[in-house]
Amino acid sequence: MTYDEKQMIFTGAATPEESAALALHYEIATAARTAADSLLDLGRKIKRMRDTNGYKALGFETLGDYTKTAIGLNQRQAYNYIAVVEKLPAQLVEQNAAAGVTKLALLAQLTDGERQEVVAETDLQDVTVKELQEKIKELEEKNSGYAEQLCLLQSTTQPEADELTEEQQKRFDEMQARMEEAEKKRSDAEKAAEKADKNAKKLKSDLANEKAQRETLIEKARRDGAEDARKAAEEAARAQAEKALEVEKAARQQAEANAEELAKQLKVAGDEDTLRFSLLFDRVQGDVDEVLTLCDELRGDGKTEKAGKFSAALRKALESLAAAIETEE
């Protein structure tokens, strides 16, 4: 596998080891594009590439060759990222990511106490790299002076405190007290940072749970609302169909009653013409009943539109027949 610098991609067949390293490379490239927001993530992945020698599987001799060619970071910058994630607390990095990896790498060179003193007295985002370097140098020189003084006291006097002069004892006690106070402040700061980190993680978890519950409730309300609307529409359609069916039945029953009454009146006459008319009328009435029954069956099967067309056709035929009868009269 080789790296095409013009296309900025890896080419060639890949072994399983190369594929794993290539996948890690793509993750690193993505993290590099958003380094301001993912400094920790980028540093951890570069560190993993170094620790696993994945860059060798991609065809590079050193980690510096890989970072410079494949993701545009020179060797010093790459190791700055590694130093930051290895030596600085994650919370400190997250709070000062905007200051840049170079300033954070300078902090990584200090002891815990020195770093806390610099962070407490300096706005990392506003200070320049040069100004930060000078401040660190002053702090180291000051601390070096304290150490030399303490070493001088210990080397020029006997270990027993009662053999020190009063002035030496006083200076020794003052330095010892300052050291103890600095250590206590460092310990307290670490505990406070750990507690704040735990609280932040808990708050993040609580917010995620609350968001998930809210989305679940919203989705349930949406589903319930859609189901209620569907049921209401079905119920309205069913009620309308039943009402239309009742109207049709009432009309048919009235027509049947009228026909029976007419038949009775005709039979009373008792002549041959009347009997023949009665038979023909019964046949017509029977055909009308069959058409109405067919319309009822169609509605029962959900074919309301077709049933309506048949009913309208029957009504039109009966109206035409009634008009013809009126004309003959």
At 136-190, the pLDDT tens digits run 888 878 776 554 544 544 444 444 333 445 665 556 556 656 656 766 676 677 7
Of the CA atoms within 13 Å of residue 44, those in its CB half-sphere come to: 10
Q: Which region, left, alpha or beta, applies to residue 16 given φ > 0 means left and ψ of -120 to 50 means alpha?
A: alpha
Place of tokens 């009432």: 250
CA distance 238 to 269: 47
The full length of the chain comes to 329
Q: How far apart are CA 25 and CA 124, in angstroms?
A: 30
Amino acid 145: pLDDT? 55
- Residues in the chain with pLDDT < 50? 36, 147, 149-150, 152-164
Q: Are 71 and 29 in contact (CB under 8 A)?
A: yes
Residue 157 is predicted with a pLDDT of 40
Token pair belonging to 145: 């002076």
Kindly report the number of other CB atoms within 10 A of residue 57's CB atom: 21
Please, is 52 exposed, middle or buried when counting C-beta atoms within 10 Å of its C-beta (0-12, 13-18, 19+)?
middle
* Predicted structure pTM score: 0.39
The answer for residues whose C-beta is within 8 angstroms of residue 66's C-beta and 6 or more apart is 49, 55, 58, 60
